[in-house]
Amino acid sequence: MAQLEIAYLLRPGTQEYWRRLCQEVVGSRRVQFEASCQEVGITQVQGRLVQMLRGELLLVTVHMREPHQALQEFASSQRPFDGWLRAQLQVLLGWNMQDVLLDPQGDLIFAWPGEQGERQGEAYSMRDTTFSPEM
């Protein structure tokens, strides 16, 4: 089982939108979310908002069988819920999942112990870009 960890510095004024999105996903859209996760091999998702001195940090941990395959399937899925969720994430994040999937490994700047191949799981780096949502 692999683990994807995402740390994202929230843009000012978006915390409440993130909270509402999460409430909707675990509330009225829970059945659709669970079906989508099962379809792509995601077994667990956790999200936390961390208050920092100069902003808020969103920490998301996703447990899945095959990270790259799961992300590819989610990004290309034609299921209505997946399309809706991708659109919500694009507005809040300011980037499209397909853009991130072009370089899922990012720039490895540190690996210990030993070589990169000895690490457990896979690391994915998602870069923030400046974007102002119309909300």
- Highest mean pLDDT: which range of 2-6, 21-25, 75-79: 21-25
Q: Domain map of the chain by residue range?
A: 2-118
| 3: exposed, middle or buried (Cβ count in 10 Å: 0-12, 13-18, 19+) | middle
Is residue 20 within 8 A of residue 83, CB to CB? The reply is no
Distance (Å, whole) CA 81 – CA 101: 20
Residue-wise pLDDT for 45-96, tens only, equals 999 999 999 899 999 999 998 888 888 888 889 999 999 999 999 999 888 8
Fold that domain 2-118 belongs to in CATH: Alpha-Beta Plaits (3.30.70)
For residue 36, pLDDT beyond 60: yes
> Alpha helix (H) ranges present in the chain?
15-26, 30-40, 67-76, 80-93, 97-101
Is residue 33 within 8 A of residue 87, CB to CB? The reply is no
